[in-house]
């Protein structure tokens, strides 16, 4: 895959650089002239300019390669959660779910290979199937700063191929006041469903006891009742003669109604008994809930091309023997993260001792219900039109009475995770240059994680006990699926209240027949209990060499895992616990070179080695054993299971950046990165002969499990620019601009497929922001573009699935009524962007097309 930039992107970048170059030069000249004259006027900076300067100073002074967002800036962005906050930073991509940012990729590495920490301690994850923390669980209003660390130092956790998102909670000593408070409330309007979302947050703090004690508490809450509509075809494949080059097997259009709520609280108590001593207790709790109602209509019209008559235009025709389905799903999710830590630091002469003890608890609760009605036999005739992107397929005759009850499922999934960690660091100042030091440390982390998945299934009864959607008042109203360019009619919906009531009254009757085999499989195959222990130690030095700063060291991490799963014998129905253990040791060298040839110029070079540990289900033993006795004493079968011996992804990372701080609040930076990734994980499969398992000999036995492959590579460049146009006259001096571009290329060697791109890696990320601050008025208009990225790798190119480009246009404006109170408007998704996914590298092979609409907020904030 080659790195490319579109013509429009080249033009936009060229225009931006041409337009801003005079301003850069003028600002630099002005700064130099002022310094020469010795008459630099003091400037009091507030609002978004202050927050931008704080973020720039965090980046400038950091030892590692870091980008940051400050607390004030978080509150001034038109974002719903932490994932959308960090999307504004260079090299950060976000995948969306139901119109909200959820998972974060960094420099081409997918979310499950990165790390999320809270004040430097790993957060863990409430989900059971991945290490990727869904960052929509956390509101940025609880935080003092968000950092994205792209090149770690030896005293940081090695997990994070792309980088680490570090969530930094607020400190009472940051405010600079003995007593302080701030808060905001807002209410909005959503165009798509005409509902009113609400959100509020408040922070209170105090410093007392002669400035030795500090306390801070922050709370937030939000509630959003919204709608999304979507089209979701499946399984496109090439068919000669068709205008799109092929057909999907079906058409599915869906109405979603969702209610999402977040509540959170964070706090800290800090004690500074002397200037050389600090103690703290910190805590954070955040809970995300989602209540989802989904109505879906489905026609399976393209599974057998022999049933299709295609017209001469290659796009329209008639499909016969078509099946139809109507589905209702009621889904509830509750995800929470909890964290508490105690620590401190003590300075004695050249020595500094730092320590932290932390506890974390994450929980997932997910009960769901689903009902399915379908035709007793595939007998519909359907007219289809594949000419528009949002294609159509309409049955000639159809009725609710033709749709018979087919299946009911009741899911009850639960997972929890407990993390205990202790770390100690000992630092000694050394008499070389300025602020040089030597540092050693130890860390132990113990994770206990379990996941219990249960899904009971009931099928239809005998012919005498069957019922249809037209019976017992089960049919709901006709609903529109409004996708903007086309509106589908969901004609045969299921009334949720009537269906729930009917199910409760008849579940023990002959109308519902429990499927014991599927229920048992669903109850056992996804379950696991896992313990993961990580022992880490490091040694490092940070030495000032006069304009140069050298940071180097070595980290060692030992990882031990014990995991238990279950093996299910599909034929005999027996369930057997299966346990496995694994361990590996990683040696992780680390070197940073920081050079300041001038006061306003910083050059960084870095080599680091980082890890991406296997996903939890990949480690799980057991699986479903399927077999059949083909002749007496001769068996054939198969088994798919996890692999506790998996090694982690290991990445050797090379970074080079140059940062020009050309004016106060101004930055122009360029960086290049290369990641050489070893031991990527793929799904291995083979067929064995004369294979013996559990005392049974198989003539043929299919076996699959995840295994380590050879290597992969991610490389790219990052460009970032920010400037406040204070050098312009009058009202124009209130303007400022920011922009960033990341161009990435990657390759992953997959057995049987060759070199492919890393999943979730966008070739092109870019964003721009125009902001204004003058007097009591502030405003910002921001745009972000996430380029297409492969999401799922199939058996061949045609089966791969992709996320399409995703573009966000947001705006926010505020006016200060007094020095302490301001009102603001927040405008989200102004471009009415839809979420698109497709298959086989063809944008017209749609697999997902979701629309959410625009949202507007009006709010008030205050601070004392």
Instruction: Report CA Rg, the chain.
Output: 29
Q: Which of 98, 97, 107, 67 is nearest to 85 (CA)?
A: 67
Share of the chain above pLDDT 90, in %: 64
Give the tens place of pLDDT for each residue, 610-637: 999 999 989 988 888 888 888 888 889 9
The reported pTM is: 0.86
Both tokens of 607, joined, read: 């080599």
Residue 633 makes CB contacts below 8 A (sequence gap 6+) with none
Q: Which of 632, 590, 634, 591 is nearest to 611 (CA)?
A: 590
Distance CA 96, CA 115 (A): 18
Distance CA 681, CA 648 (A): 8
| Beta strands per DSSP E along 232-315 | 237-238, 246-247, 251-274, 277-300, 308-310
Q: What is the end-to-end Cα distance of the chain in Å, rounded?
A: 54
Say what the pLDDT of residue 223 is. 94
pLDDT surpassing 70 at residue 71: no
Q: Which of 597, 241, 614, 296 is nearest to 476 (CA)?
A: 296
Helix (H) or strand (E) holding 769: strand 764-774
Residue carrying structure tokens 């429009």: 8
Ranking 96-105, 490-499, 516-525, 529-538 by mean pLDDT, the lowest is 96-105
Give the tens place of pLDDT for each residue, 798-846: 889 999 999 989 999 999 999 999 999 999 999 999 999 999 999 999 9
Distance CA 499, CA 468 (A): 12
Helix (H) or strand (E) holding 582: strand 575-598
Average pLDDT, the chain: 88
Give the tens place of pLDDT for each residue, 516-566: 989 998 899 899 999 999 999 999 999 998 889 999 999 999 999 999 999
Burial of 149 (0-12, 13-18, 19+ CB in 10 A): buried
Of the pLDDT bands very low, low, confident and very high (cuts 50, 70, 90), residue 74 is low
DSSP letter (8 states) at residue 471: S
In 10 A of CB 607, how many CB atoms?
A: 15
Say what the pLDDT of residue 40 is. 33
Distance CA 852, CA 168 (A): 31
pLDDT surpassing 90 at residue 210: yes
HSE toward the beta carbon, residue 820, CA cutoff 13 A: 6
The β-bridge partners of 414 are 365, 452
Contact (Cβ atoms closer than 8 angstroms) between residue 172 and residue 216? yes
Both tokens of 621, joined, read: 């033993």
**Three-state SS annotation for 131-194:** CCCCHHHCCHHHEEEEEEEEECCCCCCCECCCCEEEEEECCHHHCCCCEEEEEEEEEEEECCCC
Share of the chain above pLDDT 70, in %: 93
Total residues found in the chain within this entry? 864
Q: Using CA of residue 77, residue 80, residue 85, residue 90, what is the dihedral sign?
A: negative
Q: Which domains does the chain have, with CATH numbers?
A: 43-863 (2.40.170.20)
Give the tens place of pLDDT for each residue, 754-782: 888 888 788 999 999 999 999 899 999 99
């Amino acid at each position: 895959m080659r790195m490319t930039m579109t013509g429009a992107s080249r033009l936009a970048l060229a225009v931006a650089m041409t337009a801003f170059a005079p301003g850069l030069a003028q600002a630099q000249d002005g700064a130099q002239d002022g310094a020469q004259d010795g008459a630099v006027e003091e400037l009091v900076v507030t609002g978004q300019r202050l927050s931008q300067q704080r973020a720039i100073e965090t980046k400038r002074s950091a030892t590692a390669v870091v980008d940051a967002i400050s607390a004030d800036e978080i509150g001034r962005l038109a974002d719903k959660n932490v994932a959308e906050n960090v999307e504004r930073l260079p090299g950060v991509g976000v995948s969306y779910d139901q119109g909200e940012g959820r998972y974060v990729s960094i420099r081409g590495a997918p979310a499950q290979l990165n790390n999320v920490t809270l004040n430097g301690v790993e957060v863990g994850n409430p989900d059971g199937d991945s290490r990727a923390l869904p960052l929509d669980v956390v509101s940025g209003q609880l935080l003092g700063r968000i950092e994205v660390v792209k090149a770690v130092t030896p005293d940081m956790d090695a997990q994070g191929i792309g980088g680490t998102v570090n969530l930094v909670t607020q400190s009472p000593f940051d405010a600079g006041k003995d007593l302080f408070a701030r808060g905001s409330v807002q209410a909005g309007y959503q165009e798509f469903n005409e509902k009113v979302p609400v959100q509020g947050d408040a922070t209170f703090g105090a410093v007392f006891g002669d400035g030795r004690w500090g306390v801070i508490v922050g709370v937030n809450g939000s509630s959003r009742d919204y709608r999304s509509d979507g089209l979701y075809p499946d399984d496109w494949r090439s068919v000669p003669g068709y205008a799109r080059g092929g057909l999907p097997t079906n058409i599915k259009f869906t109405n979603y109604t969702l209610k999402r709520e977040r509540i959170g609280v964070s706090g800290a108590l800090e004690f500074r008994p002397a200037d050389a001593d600090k103690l703290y207790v910190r805590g954070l709790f955040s809970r995300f809930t989602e209540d989802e109602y989904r109505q879906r209509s489905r026609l399976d019209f393209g599974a057998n091309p022999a049933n299709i008559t295609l017209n001469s235009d290659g796009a329209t025709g008639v499909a016969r023997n078509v099946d139809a389905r109507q589905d209702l799903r009621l889904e509830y999710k509750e995800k929470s993260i909890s964290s508490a830590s105690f620590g401190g630091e003590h300075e004695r002469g050249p020595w500094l001792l730092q320590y932290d003890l932390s506890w974390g608890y994450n929980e997932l609760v997910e009960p769901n219900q689903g009902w399915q009605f379908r035709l007793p036999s595939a007998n519909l005739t359907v007219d289809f039109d594949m000419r528009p992107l949002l294609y159509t397929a309409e049955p000639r005759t159809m009725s609710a009475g033709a749709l018979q009850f087919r299946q009911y499922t009741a899911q009850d999934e639960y997972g929890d995770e407990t993390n205990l960690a202790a770390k100690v660091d000992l630092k000694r100042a050394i008499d070389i240059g300025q602020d040089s030091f030597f540092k050693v440390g130890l860390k132990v982390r113990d994770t206990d994680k379990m996941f219990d998945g249960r899904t009971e299934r009931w099928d239809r009864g005998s012919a005498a006990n069957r019922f249809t959607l037209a019976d017992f008042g089960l049919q709901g109203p006709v609903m529109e699926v409004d996708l903007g360019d086309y509106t589908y009619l969901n004609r045969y919906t299921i009334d949720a209240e009537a269906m729930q009531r009917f199910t409760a009254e008849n579940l023990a009757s002959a109308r519902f027949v429990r499927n014991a085999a599927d229920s048992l499989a669903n109850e056992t195959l996804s379950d696991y209990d896992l313990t993961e222990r990580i022992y880490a130690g490091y040694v490092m030095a940070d030495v000032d060499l006069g304009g140069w700063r050298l940071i180097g060291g070595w980290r060692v991490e030992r990882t031990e895992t014990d995991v238990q799963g279950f093996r299910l014998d599909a034929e005999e129905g027996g369930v057997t616990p299966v346990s496995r253990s694994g361990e590996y040791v990683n040696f992780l060298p680390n070197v940073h070179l920081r050079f300041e040839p001038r006061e306003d110029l910083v050059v960084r070079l870095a080599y680091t080695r980082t890890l991406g540990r296997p996903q939890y289900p990949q480690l799980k033993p057991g699986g479903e054993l399927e077999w059949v006795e083909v002749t007496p004493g001769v068996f054939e079968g198969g088994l798919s299971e996890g692999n506790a011996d998996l090694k982690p992804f290991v990445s050797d990372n090379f970074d080079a950046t140059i940062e020009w701080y050309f004016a106060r609040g101004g930055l122009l930076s360029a960086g290049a990165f290369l990641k050489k990734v070893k031991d990527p994980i793929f799904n291995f499969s083979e067929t064995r002969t004369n294979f013996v398992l559990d005392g049974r000999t198989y003539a043929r036995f299919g076996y699959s499990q995840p295994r380590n492959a050879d290597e992969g590579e991610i490389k790219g460049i990052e460009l970032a620019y920010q400037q406040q146009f204070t050098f312009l006259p009058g009202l124009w001096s209130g303007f400022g601009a920011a922009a960033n571009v990341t161009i990435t290329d990657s390759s992953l060697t997959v057995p049987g497929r060759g070199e492919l791109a890393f999943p979730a890696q966008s070739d092109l990320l870019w964003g721009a922001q125009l902001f204004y601050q003058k007097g009591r008025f502030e405003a910002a208009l921001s745009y972000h573009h996430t380029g297409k990225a492969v999401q799922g790798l199939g058996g061949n190119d045609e089966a791969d699935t992709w996320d399409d480009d995703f573009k966000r246009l947001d705006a926010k404006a505020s006016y200060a009524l007094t020095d302490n109170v301001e009102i603001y408007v927040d405008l989200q998704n102004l471009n009415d962007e839809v979420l698109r996914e497709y298959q086989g590298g063809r944008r017209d092979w749609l697999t997902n097309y979701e629309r959410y609409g625009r949202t507007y907020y009006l709010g008030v904030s205050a601070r004392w």
